[in-house]
A = this chain, B = another copy of it.
Amino acid sequence: MTHPLFEKHRAKLEAALGAIHTRGYWAAYNEMPSPKTYGESAPDDGKRAFQAHLGQAFEIDQPGSTGWHGGEQSPYGIDLNVRYPVCDVQALIDAGQSAMPGWQAVGCEGRTGICIEILDRLNQQSFELAHAVMMTTGQGWMMAFQAGAPHAQDRGLEAVTYAYREQSFVPPEATWEKPQGKNPPLVMKKHFELVGRGVAVVVGCGTFPTWNTYPGLFAALATGNAVIVKPHENAILPAAITVRTIRAVLAENGIDSNLVTLCVPALRETTQALVTHLAVKSIDFTGGNVFGQWLIDHCRQAQVYAELAGVNNIVIDSTDAYQPMLRNLAFTLSLYSGQMCTTSQALFLPAGGIDTEEGHKSYDAVCADLATAVDGLLAKPEVALAVLGAVQSAETMARITLAESGALGRLLLASRKIDNPEFPKARVRTPVLLACDAADEAAYMQERFGPITFVVKVADTAAAIALSERVIATHGALTAGIYSTRPEVIEAMTSATWRSKVALSINLTDGVFVNQSAAFSDYHGSGGNPAANASYSDSAFVANRFRVIQRRHHV
């Protein structure tokens, strides 16, 4: 009776279950684009597969097709010109609902096995997906490969694993035998059916179209729901490739492939009609506060799992590794031009400076040294291009211009434009560093998405910790950091993050960065401050996506 794909992937599932139990290091998918793992021809095959999409209609045989839509603009300046089917929202919802009973019937083990098969198949497409992610988001190649493919697949598997664990706790049936003193016991047979809540919508973002989409997509799918993927208008291709592969694997396994569909709306009203539809029972969203809050306010029929904007920050009190700290910070601020939702936007520094193993450093000295560190990291163009990638949107370009104008703070480091010989039209910019005072809240206390960082002068360390807590409690954050050699400072910051509910990185000076979040170990977003109301992944991310429907009868 066990599903063959559950048997096929049992070892991987058990390893993943072990990983979510220990939350140590574990990965199912190799993050290195190694020919040994992916095959000698994988890099070329993947690039060709990506290029074959360009200028074409991306065929997906979905119901209710009414035309074609596209328009993605590559931050690298290449022409994409891919068109995607536009489908009637009601037709997608009807088709998803029709597909759900068959998905329910295959059971938790069947769904889990098929989901892992899908992830394995997506893993085989990692190079194709990486090119699609790189060219739609502006990520550098290595990040596009890692975050776009194996890391996203691991986050998907993590959600599948949590979903399996929660579902597997519900016994399929039970015998209820209640003693009645001297009389025979009351005996009932009970059956517990796992039922998906309905149609799930996953709304993707423009910067991480797979990494931020797979957790919700696979959490909803594994728990028995139909899923409609609504990608960001500028990052459709990675989602389209994903949906086509999912549909193929579903069909191979006798599941109606309309269980998972792609929604590429030509009009904004179409998206609104989709997410407010009464049949839509959950929405996963990554993106800005305006649309995110709109979803939370208007989609009352659905559970909304939202990752929104925040003001990530780091308190710098002291260090015994000054240069490594600066190098670590420089890399964090530069990686993907600061366009990660986990990138630090504000560094809180005591006005009196900080103690280091090189002696005391004044506030101005730290500012200058950080600027030097960023410049140093990005001195070689080939390194700069690999680290920075390209700027994803015109809005981010405008924010860079605003920051450079001096309107938000004193310019510590101006943004440089770097030429990319391979992609002459690429928008490549180095980070802007600004200095400001703690009182300049209007400047730094809202998300300035992109390569813009404020070095904020705060009265002292205690004030910096208090400010960090207040910023996070009121504006949210996905990451916080502390540099200190003093245990009592680290303890105070730890307590502050318990109250503001944010993940804390302490004294990062080596090859781990505050903006990195590893599947199966780091909880991404705590779900407890305004930056996100859910976490990748924990029990809460999956437990409410299905319901237990019981029936009982006398034996």
Contacts and interface: CB of A to CB of B under 8 A. Distances in A.
A24 interface: yes
B551 A505 contact: yes
Interface in A166-205: 166, 169-171, 174-178, 180, 186, 188, 190, 192-193, 195, 197
Given A550-B504, A551-B504, A169 B523 contact: no
A416 interface: no
A174 B522 CA distance: 10
Interface string A487-523: 0000000110110011111111111100000100111
Given A503-B550, A551-B497, A23 B174 contact: yes
Interface string A93-109: 00000000100100000
- Which secondary structure characterizes the binding site on chain A? mixed
A527 interface: yes
Copies per complex?
A: 2
A186 B501 contact: no
Contact of A498 (B193, B494, B507): B193
Given A21-B169, A22-B174, A498-B549, A540 B538 contact: no
A39 to B, nearest CB: 20
Interface residues of A, number: 66
Nearest to A104: B498
Contact of A554 (B502, B508, B522, B540): B508
B548 A177 contact: no
A25 interface: yes
Interface in A511-555: 511-512, 518, 521-523, 526-528, 535, 538-540, 543-544, 547-554
A165 B538 CA distance: 13
Which of A104, A175, A498 has most chain B Cβ within 10 Å? A498
Contacts of A25: 176-178
A186 B539 CA distance: 28
A548 B521 contact: no
A511 B180 contact: yes
A549 B497 contact: yes
Contact of A535 (B24, B174, B510, B547): B547
Contact of A24 (B176, B501, B549): B176
Contacts of A552: 503-506, 512, 522
Contacts of A177: 24-25
A544 B547 contact: no
Given A24-B176, A190-B23, A527-B547, A539 B197 contact: no
Given A23-B171, A23-B174, A544-B544, A549 B104 contact: no
Given A21-B169, A174-B22, A538 B549 contact: no
A470 to B, nearest CB: 14
Nearest to A167: B539
Interface in A141-185: 165-166, 169-171, 174-178, 180
A116 to B, nearest CB: 21
Contact of A176 (B497, B502, B518, B535): B518
Nearest to A178: B25
A495 B191 CA distance: 13
Which of A101, A504, A549 has most chain B Cβ within 10 Å? A549
A512 B186 CA distance: 8
A509 B554 contact: yes
Which of A165, A171, A188, A505 has most chain B Cβ within 10 Å? A188
B166 A539 contact: yes
A498 to B, nearest CB: 5
A24 B174 contact: yes
Contacts of A510: 186, 554
Contacts of A497: 549, 551
Contacts of A188: 512
Contact of A551 (B23, B494, B550): B494
A164 to B, nearest CB: 13
25 contacts: A20-B169, A21-B169, A23-B170, A23-B174, A23-B192, A24-B176, A24-B177, A25-B176, A25-B177, A104-B498, A165-B169, A170-B538, A174-B521, A195-B501, A503-B551, A505-B553, A506-B552, A506-B553, A510-B554, A512-B554, A526-B549, A527-B544, A535-B548, A539-B539, A540-B544
Given A23-B170, A504-B551, A538-B548, 17 more contacts: A25-B178, A101-B498, A166-B539, A166-B543, A186-B510, A186-B511, A188-B512, A195-B498, A497-B551, A498-B549, A503-B550, A506-B552, A508-B554, A509-B554, A512-B552, A522-B550, A528-B547
